[in-house]
Amino acid sequence: MKYEIAWIKGDGIGPEISEAALKVLEAIEKGFNVSFDVKFYLAGDDCLNITGKALPEETVEGIRRAHATIKGPVGETAADVIVKLRQMFDLYANIRPAKNYPGLNAIKDIDLIIVRENTEGLYKGFEYEFDGKAIGIRVITERASRRIAREAAKLALQRKKKVTIVHKANVLRKTCGLFRRVARDELSKYPEIEVNEMYVDAASMALIRNPESFDIILTTNMFGDILSDEAAQVAGGLGMAASGNIGEDMALFEPVHGSAPDIAGKGIANPYSMILSLKMMFEWLANRHNDKELLNVSKILESKIVEALKKGIKTPDLGGSYRTIDIGSRLYDLILGSG
Ligand code: NAI
Ligand code: MG
């Protein structure tokens, strides 16, 4: 089957890490019996400057039509692009693995997945300003809390069967209170899963002190956003962090990080975040379409990434001296067995 992929390169380092990831995709199409029809769409700050819109209708339609979407980071228009897309397509589960691969300068051993509610909370965007006051409304619904808890359970069953619900229900009694109650209720349907909970401040400390104690972290939108950058750093750096925004029958994959304007255009950005997003996309497509070859490809790609890291094929943020595009070229050779 030929998969149609909507590809948004984004802003800042987005186009650079996209080029490297496209090189990897080229090797995969050459080396395996899988094929992709990549269609490029614009979104983000540069797109706003060119077209007057941060998220043009053509891009929205392209995403709707594609089997899956992969997106580089965008800049200051993130709220108009990614936060909007998550709500527009009801991509309610943000799946963010943090795992320390060999050869990285990880703070501690870590192998967990943050399962972040992706459509509501404070990121709903209900903010108002008047008379010297600014007010934000935090929306937490039973429906969204239940379905994200179910997603956490699904992943937990494939792993160590352990879920930590992260909240702040001692202070945010209604919103976090509801999330905690509904999550507990949903998870109680899976007696084989060990469920515990932690306040978000304590969890942020525990992520550094004993990250190995976590398997699945189930949390609300903003807490998940913040904790996933922290978890990524524990694992060796934001440049390694990939994510999936998953809905009922659509999914969008992207690095966890932003457009990194401080290093954009220098050719030194770490593209593994984008390449690992590609790997997550293969996995999702494979499971959805029962495509054994593609599932195999996702496993091989991960093993090639590990091999590359062990060989020291790393960008400066990881202590290496490779340039962004060279990571793509070296992986290309490794995948086709000539590296
Ligand atoms: P950032 O994630 O872009 O950068 C934080 C730090 O990590 C910087 O020092 C950067 O150089 C470094 N970094 C990030 N990715 C890297 C990579 N692949 N390789 C090497 N180093 C990397 O966060 P920041 O600076 O807060 O945000 C920059 C812009 O990105 C903002 O305009 C923000 O709105 C946007 N953003 C977009 C997101 C998205 O499209 N999903 C997510 C987060 C931020
Ligand atoms: Mg973030």
CA of 33 to the centre of ligand 2 (A): 35
Q: Whose CA is nearest to atom 4 of ligand 1?
A: 260
Question: Which one, of 293, 302, 298, lies nearest residue 240 by Cα?
Answer: 302
Tokens of residue 275, six digits: 């390449």
CA of 34 to the centre of ligand 1 (A): 32
Residue 69 reports pLDDT greater than 80: yes
Give CA–CA dist 48/77, Å, rounded: 8
Q: Whose CA is nearest to atom 30 of ligand 1?
A: 258
CA of 74 to the centre of ligand 1 (A): 9
Helix%, strand%, coil% for the chain, nearest 5? 45, 20, 30
Ligand 1: which residues within 6 Å by Cβ? Answer: 13, 17, 73-76, 78, 82, 238-239, 254, 257-263, 269-270, 273, 317
Q: How many helices (H) and strands (E) does the chain have?
A: 11, 12
Per-residue pLDDT band for 25 (boundaries 50, 70, 90) equals: very high
Which ligand is closest in space to the CA of residue 114?
2
pLDDT, position 338: 73
The whole-model pTM stands at 0.96
pLDDT, position 134: 98
Q: Whose CA is nearest to atom 31 of ligand 1?
A: 75
Question: Which one, of 284, 248, 279, 275, lies nearest residue 331 by Cα?
Answer: 275
Tokens of residue 230, six digits: 């922290």
Q: Which atom of ligand 1 is nearest to the CA of 73?
A: 40
Which residue(s) pair with 136 in the sheet? 127
Per-residue pLDDT band for 339 (boundaries 50, 70, 90) equals: low
Q: Whose CA is nearest to atom 39 of ligand 1?
A: 73
Give CA–CA dist 98/257, Å, rounded: 13
Beta-strand pair 111-117/127-130 = unpaired
CA of 160 to the centre of ligand 1 (A): 31
Q: Whose CA is nearest to atom 36 of ligand 1?
A: 258
Over residues 209-251, the pLDDT tens digits come to 999 999 999 999 999 999 999 999 999 999 999 999 999 999 9
Question: Which one, of 8, 11, 63, 28, lies nearest residue 282 by Cα?
Answer: 28
Residues involved in catalysis: 123, 168, 201, 225, 229
Question: How high does pLDDT run on average in the chain?
Answer: 97
pLDDT, position 321: 97
Over residues 108-157, the pLDDT tens digits come to 999 999 999 999 999 999 999 999 999 999 999 999 999 999 999 999 99
3-state secondary structure of 122: helix
Q: Which atom of ligand 1 is nearest to the CA of 81?
A: 40
> Could you tell me if 218 and 148 are in contact, meaning their C-beta atoms sit under 8 angstroms apart?
yes
The average pLDDT across 42-57 equals 98
Give CA–CA dist 110/97, Å, rounded: 10
**Distance set, CA 153 to CA 238, 252, 286 (Å):** 26, 21, 20
Q: Which atom of ligand 1 is nearest to the CA of 79?
A: 34
Residue 45 reports pLDDT greater than 70: yes
Give CA–CA dist 336/328, Å, rounded: 12
Q: 191: exposed, middle or buried (C-beta count within 10 Å: 0-12, 13-18, 19+)? A: exposed
Q: Which helix (H) or strand (E) holds 35?
A: strand 35-41
Contacting residues for 200 by C-beta, under 8 A, at least 6 apart? 166, 167, 168, 219, 223, 227
Question: Which one, of 137, 220, 153, lies nearest residue 185 by Cα?
Answer: 153
The average pLDDT across 103-112 equals 93
Q: Which atom of ligand 1 is nearest to the CA of 254?
A: 41
> Could you tell me if 32 and 297 are in contact, meaning their C-beta atoms sit under 8 angstroms apart?
yes
Domains of the chain in sequence order:
1-99+238-339 (3.40.718.10), 107-235 (3.40.718.10)
Residue 300 reports pLDDT greater than 90: yes
